[in-house]
Copies of this chain bind each other. A is one copy, B any other.
């Protein structure tokens, strides 16, 4: 950490900072500048709480240098993490050059709907299906998911089609139920900082698909992963799904630069959700292709056989034929950078 002193900071104030740091077992290096003095602090494992330091007289600001995450960072774990999800159709790999495709409806609406879509996405080559039994909705008056019967339908989809199940846990209460059927448990953007849920999800031992919060920085995103990993579960799949900006032409602004940026900071794989990331069906294919071209470790795509009748988010679901086209294009683009669809 770097403590920047005010221009008119006294020697006594500088000394006081050094003593405070020493009392915590940290080393200090005083660096006199032309205008002001800075104090480099070393020896801290992880980030120092800078709040109290900035309250000391003569201190202008504190600049963190070390990143606050340990398990999620590449510093300690330079090798990229590759996650293997076993399914009846074979193991699906996420990361390390393998681009995992997860497709399906936003919400499970009925057995008929789930089966119809499962058949289509399987036919197009997907081995992981997404679909929510529990849906976090902005309005209490919107469809909140089928709940337990939806979980049962997912179980049938799993048995009938052999597809691996990716489904969301929205609270601790329903987590066990969801964990019973899921091959990958999804934690949604609104829950990214629901720390109780993160810890409990970590303890299930299942791979966790963690979506980036609507206005989360990458550091906050990785710290949320850290909560899961601190429970001993290192199988975390990060998911970029668009962030909130001033833009009014899309629901969210898909931040594809997060892909190389995460790959640089962390060993965890990162996939992209172009459906929530754009909020419009017509933008899904272009942005899905872009994600693969940028090096994403996977895609999470909403597919619906009758989007105009969907109970939630029909606006952003693509048709099965569009999904088949996406698979073909994604496969070719992945090949350009030496990746393969998984």
Contact = CB atoms under 8 A, between A and B. Distances in A.
Interface stretch (A94-102, A114-122, A154-162, A331-339): A331-339
A317 B54 CA distance: 11
A315 to B, nearest CB: 3
Nearest to A224: B138
A170 B278 CA distance: 31
A93 interface: no
Contacts of A316: 51
Copies of this chain present in the complex amount to 4
B195 A194 contact: no
Given A259-B286, A261-B283, A55 B140 contact: no
A203 interface: no
Given A136-B193, A137-B195, A247-B217, A283 B309 contact: no
A126 to B, nearest CB: 19
A294 interface: yes
Contacts of A136: 193, 195
Nearest to A30: B29
Contact of A56 (B65, B140, B308, B332): B308
Nearest to A71: B140
A49 B311 CA distance: 8
Given A140-B230, A215-B215, A54 B249 contact: no
Interface of A: 2, 4, 7-8, 29, 31-36, 38, 40, 42-47, 49-56, 63, 65-66, 68-70, 75, 78, 136-142, 170-173, 190-191, 193-197, 214-215, 217-218, 220, 223, 226-227, 230, 243-250, 253-261, 264, 277-278, 280-283, 286-287, 289-295, 307-317, 329, 332-333, 336-337
